[in-house]
Structure 1
Amino acid sequence: MESSFPAYEVIIVGGSAAGLSAALLLGRSLRRLLVIDNGKPANRQTPHSHSFLTRDGISPTELNTIAREQALAYPTVRLIDDTAVTATQHATGFSVTTETGNTYRADRIVLATGLKDELWPIPGFAECWGISVLHCPYCHGYEVHGQALGILANGDAAFEMSRLIYHWSPRLTLFTNGPSTLSVEQAEKLQKHQIEIIETPITEIPHQNGQLSGLLLADQTHYPLTALFSRPPIVQASDLARQLGCVHNELGFVQVDDFGRTSIPGVFAAGDTHTMMRQVVVAAANGLRTAAMINKELIDEYFN
């Protein structure tokens, strides 16, 4: 059904760091905007986020709660808890239809829908994700530095992750979860740094409330660990960008310029949708920069 609400100048799909940062600046710019958010950010299990100046250690949930309050303090900002399922371009702008059947119209769209991790189907992996199974040492490495850490990866990715994580802790074991695809040279370099390579498949990640105690292997060996680093495949959390015809790069990210403009005029992307830098502070900066460009475009249109 068609929404009874008037057309907006901007619709922001996604109400996490990038989307709310954009909403805050646009609200302060007196723009009429709608944020559509389903409350399922990729970091929703993560107890703490880090490296955000003045907010180091705050939980992503608390950060989003504060961000919502601050963005919604501006009267031209509206937020609905819903999932955007379709997006369509029209001669005079764009429309977005939600899971509940409402349709909203705007002059510009910001896609801040983020990424989705396709978690490995190992019992315990999903429950520990973001808590003790980690993807980023810049986000979580300090808290486990110097401790017994594992890496779940293989081939070139395993080698690069091992080099990276070794900086935080030399007490490192690489689990390839099957036959190693490392090159001879890569394996020799890891062994030179006393990084053990274990090829036995992983059968389970024993844990308590997401905090793993180690890895249980197919030969019934239990390897005690404090944390496990892994980077499972990532995909776009929403296909709205593809629905609108936005160009994606070879890695599957939405292609944008320095201000978040996609290949479709009027469609912007912010946050994880277009970058591998999955830090909260980066997403927030992306959102602000994108919002500033949107406001400039609207001024250019209206003041001519």
Structure 2
Amino acid sequence: MFDAIVIGGGPAGLQAALTLGRMHREVVLLDSGEYRNASVAHGQNLVTHDGRAPEEIRRLARADLADYDTVRIVDTTVRAVEARDDGGFAAVTEDGVFAASVLILATGLRDELPPIAGLAEAWGREVAHCPFCHGHELSGRRIAVLGSGTHAAAHRAMLSPIGSEVVVVDPGVVVGVDRVAEGLVLRLRDGEAIEVGGLFVQPTSTQRAPFAAQLGLRTLASGSVEVDPMGRTSVPGVFAAGDMAHTAAMPGPMASLAVAIAAGQLAAAAAVHQLVAREIDAERGTVS
């Protein structure tokens, strides 16, 4: 029986485990090895780690966690989560069942790209969705935005100070994307080709794992789990962090390493406070 289970080995989950470990709480981090940014060569916009590969950031974080005796990392896939009769939670994995008093979900999102030939092969490289994370590297080059309406207009305005030119292309006219030495070639339906340094798209994002549905967590119109500013979900004892969750005040999740790390720390701190409250109640002979 652990104090806490953390599901997800990305930045949010790793930070949550670190925060719990520093409070000498018994925590198990369950990591499937699947990451939203798996195809990204360089993580950006993270102070002291700007430009470092996400894989290297995860390796360094795990090295930090190795210094804490109460933190255990298990590389396994979680099949299901469930509430226990004692008020705690269980995670059913390929390697057995893990139980804890509180649960932190940091399982992230899964991106579905528009059905354009070659787009998936360039995803996370020449094709991205966040100007904050991937815009600067295209300085002085032609940049394309795939989309229409307000979202495309906003991306164009954000990228205009960075690129030599920003062109907006409707998804319906692009039939293929080819990677070339200097970026991408967009092949259009009318036979025209546009060469650009990079392309920004808006993927359709869904929950990577089914755990929010299994626990009956309240979700938002974005499809993300609703949390309060401390990462508490609608189910007491369950916390969520990273881009799988956001507050109702936000229009959607912000896909950012720094934001994910901050959310992981907040969720873990809130979890510790809940554990302490339960322990105080138990000492007084009451039930929380």
Question: How far apart in 1 are the matches of 2:212 and 2:134?
Answer: 30
Name the % identity: 35
Secondary structure (helix, strand or coil) at the match of 1:231 reads coil
Q: Deviations over 1:100-132 (max 9, x none)?
A: 262111110000001111112212111111111
In structure 2, what residue type is equivalent to 1:102?
G
2:174 to 181, 202, 207: 202
Secondary structure (helix, strand or coil) at the match of 2:199 reads strand
1:125 to 114, 119, 125: 119
Q: Which residue number corresponds to residue 82 of structure 1? A: 76
Question: How far apart in 1 are the matches of 2:170 and 2:188?
Answer: 11
Kindly state the Cα deviation for residue 274 of structure 1 after the two structures are TM-superposed. Answer: 1.1
In structure 2, what residue type is equivalent to 1:94?
F
Question: How far apart in 2 are the matches of 1:126 and 1:232?
Answer: 11
1:97-136 correspondence runs (5 A): 97-98=92-93, 100=94, 102-136=96-130
1:230 to 177, 192, 201: 201
Q: Which residue number corresponds to residue 14 of structure 2? A: 20
Secondary structure (helix, strand or coil) at the match of 1:207 reads strand
1:183-194 correspondence runs (5 A): none
Q: Which residue number corresponds to residue 284 of structure 1? A: 261
Q: Which residue number corresponds to residue 148 of structure 2? A: 154
Question: How far apart in 2 are the matches of 1:53 and 1:237?
Answer: 27
Matched, 1:263 2:234: yes
In structure 1, what residue type is equivalent to 2:258?
V
Secondary structure (helix, strand or coil) at the match of 2:171 reads coil
Secondary structure (helix, strand or coil) at the match of 1:21 reads helix
RMSD: 1.5
Matched, 1:55 2:49: yes
Matched, 1:8 2:2: yes
Matched, 1:34 2:28: yes
Kindly state the Cα deviation for residue 223 of structure 1 after the two structures are TM-superposed. Answer: 0.7
Secondary structure (helix, strand or coil) at the match of 1:287 reads helix
1:216-255 correspondence runs (5 A): 216-255=187-226
Kindly state the Cα deviation for residue 37 of structure 1 after the two structures are TM-superposed. Answer: 0.8
Q: Deviations over 1:124-165 (max 9, x none)?
A: 111111111011111011110221110111233222222222
Secondary structure (helix, strand or coil) at the match of 1:61 reads helix
Q: Deviations over 1:155-199 (max 9, x none)?
A: 332222222222322501111022xxxxxxxxxxxxxxxxxxxxx
Q: Which residue number corresponds to residue 62 of structure 2? A: 68
Give the count of matched residue pairs: 274
Kindly state the Cα deviation for residue 278 of structure 1 after the two structures are TM-superposed. Answer: 0.8
Secondary structure (helix, strand or coil) at the match of 2:69 reads coil
Q: Structure 1 residues 71-80 or 56-65, which shifts more? A: 71-80
Question: How far apart in 1 are the matches of 2:171 and 2:104?
Answer: 39
Question: How far apart in 2 are the matches of 1:94 and 1:52?
Answer: 33
Q: What TM-score, normalized by structure 2, do the two folds share?
A: 0.91
Q: Which residue number corresponds to residue 168 of structure 1? A: 162
Q: What TM-score, normalized by structure 1, do the two folds share?
A: 0.86
Question: How far apart in 1 are the matches of 2:99 and 2:197?
Answer: 49
Question: How far apart in 1 are the matches of 2:258 and 2:275?
Answer: 26
Q: Deviations over 1:35-90 (max 9, x none)?
A: 11111111111111122111111111100011011113211111111111211112
Secondary structure (helix, strand or coil) at the match of 2:168 reads strand
In structure 2, what residue type is equivalent to 1:117?
D
Secondary structure (helix, strand or coil) at the match of 2:269 reads helix
* Contact 1:128/1:212 (<8 A) preserved: no
Question: How far apart in 2 are the matches of 1:16 and 1:52?
Answer: 14
Q: Which residue number corresponds to residue 183 of structure 1? A: none
